[in-house]
Amino acid sequence: MPPVFAAPGPDSCPVHVIESDSFDSWLSSQPQRVQAWVSAQGFSGACGQALTVPDGDGGIGMALAGYGSAAQRARRRFVLAEAAQKLPAGTYRILSGLPAEDAASESLGWLLSGYRFDRYKETKGAAAALQAPEGVEAAAVESLAAAECLTRDLINTPASDMGPAELEAAALKLAEDFGASASVITGEELLEQNFPLIHTVGRASNRAPRLIDLRWGAAGPTLTLVGKGVCFDTGGLNLKPGNSMALMKKDMGGAANVLGLARMIMAAGLPLQLRVLIPAVENSVSDSAFRPGDVLTSRKGLTVEINNTDAEGRLVLADALALAAEDTPDLLISMATLTGAARVAVGPDLSPFYTDHDSDAAALSASAARTADPVWRMPFHTPYEKMIEPGIADLDNAPSGGFAGSITAALFLRRFAGEARYMHFDIYGWAPSAEPGRPKGGALQGARALFAALPDMLEL
């Protein structure tokens, strides 16, 4: 179950959020016994510090959470989550010190600090519960937390339990929960309905490839989300080495992120028409695997020379984007764990995105700062188009040379987006090390920033 705010009650423990610069002033206002205890424990208000202060009866009278300085907070996200992870299990309420402008983001971080992926564990962990701070829209923050936890759970689930069929089941469950409609094209039907690239990438697996199509909303601007759903990626005949294959359960992170974003949109009841397309496949090795050197024809009619079978994500996305473009939505967004080049460029924490529309980029960058969901704009550098144009086909799925790998992948996808206003995210979908509110494992990236920017981008 996703974490939620605790119900108000008389037994909750008050929490004072204390900046390091105001610590001395706060401490001097406290009774002598509190001053002595806090000084003895070495609490100073530094970022992430947490301390419980006993009352006169041997219980916990209050808790302190260090909020550091502005410079310290700029180096981290979810400062209160770090303190929450150090507090004993119980129910807490913020009594003082948390700036109103930070309340929603910090309370979300606190909720996310309670996330546990314990599906395979007999012992379940307990966390410090928080009452919704004053002025925070509890339901809205809980909805963000639920979307994030959905995405994390989907990515964290090993491929043995999260193949194309299970990803389909998760999407259909989400559709059922919010009254959306959904349809699925599976196996040989993909060829009959002209999705040749999706079929080709997934045909070597005994788990049938499919295209999941979810629709919600009857009025308003049209938004289509396309998420890469490669549930496991061996690399195909260009087989990955073992250490590169270890995290490939996360190669459906784009699908998991668009499902998380779709959940936010539907839960909030945004006045728009939403479509979600997920090509769900497993890139496996068998006698029917596609080969380096093959030339494939896409739904759009463009031919693609296969330079590397490990560049399969852009192939399945190409057919899905071509379908999406046929309706010319007001906004078309793809999300994918697409290239290692993006990680080299910006690391695992930032979500690089591509758009030709400056106003969309500005809206997204502003919302990213408000939502503690950092993004970074990358260029659709049109002069690099020639790098994805081989000699014997319209396109090359993996240009040689090693330069601009994320940009050339984005340019490849843009060829299939038609006339739609298009934005692409090349995310990592994974936290390589634990941070406050963000445990090691599957991660939602860019989706909260997008959700907050949609009202501006679509003039809702």
Provide the sign of the torsion angle of the four alpha carbons 334, 321, 453, 94, taken in this order. negative
What are the phi and psi torsion angles at 330 (to 5°)? -65, -30
Residue 197 token pair: 């690239």
Alpha carbons 235 and 204: distance in angstroms, whole number? 12
Other beta carbons within 10 angstroms of residue 196's beta carbon come to: 18
Q: Are 260 and 147 in contact (CB under 8 A)?
A: yes
Q: Of residues 207, 215, 240, 377, which has the active-site annotation?
A: 240
Q: Of residues 152, 249, 314, 448, which has the active-site annotation?
A: 314
Residues 292, 293, 294, 296, Cα dihedral to 10°: 100
Provide the sign of the torsion angle of the four alpha carbons 389, 392, 397, 403, taken in this order. negative
Q: Is 91 exposed, middle or buried (0-12, 13-18, 19+ CB in 10 A)?
A: middle
Give yes or no: 86 in active site.
Answer: no
Q: Are 113 and 84 in contact (CB under 8 A)?
A: yes
Give yes or no: 240 in active site.
Answer: yes
Residues designated catalytic: 240, 314
